Amino acid sequence: MSIPQQGGGPIEDFSQLAAYMEAGCKPADQWRIGTEHEKFGFTEDHRPLDYKAIHDLMEGLTRFGWTRVEEAGKLIGLTRNGANISLEPGGQFELSGAPVATLHDTKAEIDNHLAEIAELGGPRFMGIGAAPEWRHEDMPVMPKGRYRLMTDYMGRVGTHGTQMMYRTSTVQVNLDFASEADMVKKMRVALALQPVATALFASSPFFDGKLNGHKSWRSRIWRGLDDSRTGMLPFMFEDGAGFERYVDWVLDVPMYFVYRDGQYINALGQSFRDFLKGELPALPGEKPTLSDWADHMTTVFPEARVKKYIEMRGADCGPLSHMPALSAFWVGLMYDRGALDAAWDLVKHLDAETREGLRVAASVDALQGEAGGVKLHDLAREALRLSRGGLAARGQGEETYLDVLEHSIATGRVPADDLIAAYKGEWGGDLSRVYDAMAI
């Protein structure tokens, strides 16, 4: 989850909303890689970490040059040199990495983060898409006003919102675009191939202490959260797609809050369009600033999201090797023009029904899924081939980070398949074994 946005003057004209995203356009030599991952900390008896344990860990990390971020007197995050550490609603510990130039930098950043935690003596973490045993009532609640409001709203909209907030973890990568046209092509490829990422990184076959019938329960949760702010964005494949069309969609997503003077003001279900007219019930007569718009943009959760960059959001968190692999998969497809063009050729024939069908199939069956006559294993094999070629063209020797995904293509097995086999086999149904198996 994002921290409150800062800066930005009042919004005087609709065009400023699209211009906010357009300001992210960069020439290719300035494109960077921003990797984020969430992970569950756990105690020796396999309980989730409470706020005190996480607070103490963050306090310890300040010895490495991290600066405290507070809300209402509570430590809720850290920042250092463009990177952030933040708390997800149920205490998932998130590293939002600084924008870096290469995947080697990404790997070094993740390793350094985990080394700093280890130097402090723990706690232990696991990389997995959904908490395998913990119930909702087991989860701690982090002291962030945004989460209190969202929890109430999630309880009234959709069916799985609080599960998403408190009991899932993801890995994602944030990537740049050169222009509006470049953004549109990258979003189309990102959305169409997001089911491939869901399949390759599926690691959440357990929930509430048992098998759940899906290989990515995290992905299933997102399909039952809030249709107004999630999904595959069919409009991005239509004529006229661009910054303004994306703005139109975000404006129609109901608001959660407005952030003022360190406090989250309840604006649940209210309209940002009304806010633009000074008619927001939560703040009558007041008009929004660009930071309000930036905050509202963080409350939409499609499979790929545009801000001043594009976020790839379809993957479960998983083993340590899969964290740089997720970034590698998308960098190879997005940061080489030939690979991007070929990726679009690969998916441009898919219609909205097939794209959505693949999204569902990926969550249930991972690489064994199919929809509309398209097999995810075949689509993933070709996408990975293109990604490897794109990385090779960068000339940085980054292709090695795809090796773990090549193994999945060769075997047809993803982390969830291995977890299910272990649970039914050597673990003898003892799910407590998952903590050591997925420890990072």
Rounded Cα distance, 197 and 352, in Å: 18
Max Cα separation, the chain?
64
For residue 173, the SS3 value is strand
> Which tens digits make up the pLDDT trace of 118-169?
999 989 999 999 999 999 999 999 988 888 888 777 777 767 878 888 999 9
Rounded Cα distance, 25 and 308, in Å: 7
Whether the pLDDT of residue 115 is over 70: the answer is yes
Where along the chain do its domains lie?
Answer: 15-253+300-437
Name the pLDDT band for 5 (thresholds 50, 70, 90): low
Rounded Cα distance, 380 and 391, in Å: 16
Report which of 289, 285, 280, 281 is spatially closest to residue 260, judged by C-alpha positions.
289
Poorest-confidence range of 188-197, 217-226, 240-249?
Answer: 217-226
What kind and span of H or E run contains 200? helix 180-200
In CATH, the number for domain 15-253+300-437 is 3.30.590.20
Whether the pLDDT of residue 8 is over 90: the answer is no
Report which of 203, 200, 138 is spatially closest to residue 167, judged by C-alpha positions.
138
Percent of the chain with pLDDT over 90: 90
Report the predicted TM-score, pTM, of the whole model to 2 decimal places.
Answer: 0.96
DSSP state of 10: B
136 CB contacts (<8 Å, ≥6 apart)?
162, 163, 166, 167
> Which tens digits make up the pLDDT trace of 355-381?
999 999 999 999 999 999 999 999 999
> Which tens digits make up the pLDDT trace of 242-286?
999 999 999 999 999 999 988 899 999 999 999 999 999 999 999
Tokens of 213: 């019938």
Q: What is the pLDDT of residue 157?
A: 72
Summary mean pLDDT of the chain = 95
Length of the chain: 440
Name the pLDDT band for 1 (thresholds 50, 70, 90): very low
Helix ranges (DSSP H) in 240-300: 243-251, 272-276, 290-297
**Kind of pairing, strands 33-42 and 124-126?**
antiparallel
Q: Judge whether 182 and 26 are in contact, CB under 8 Å.
A: no
Q: Name the burial class of residue 393, with classes exposed (0-12), middle (13-18) and buried (19+) by CB atoms within 10 angstroms of its CB.
A: middle
> Which tens digits make up the pLDDT trace of 31-55?
999 999 999 999 999 999 999 999 9
Rounded Cα distance, 39 and 317, in Å: 7
In one-letter notation, the amino acid at residue 147 is Y
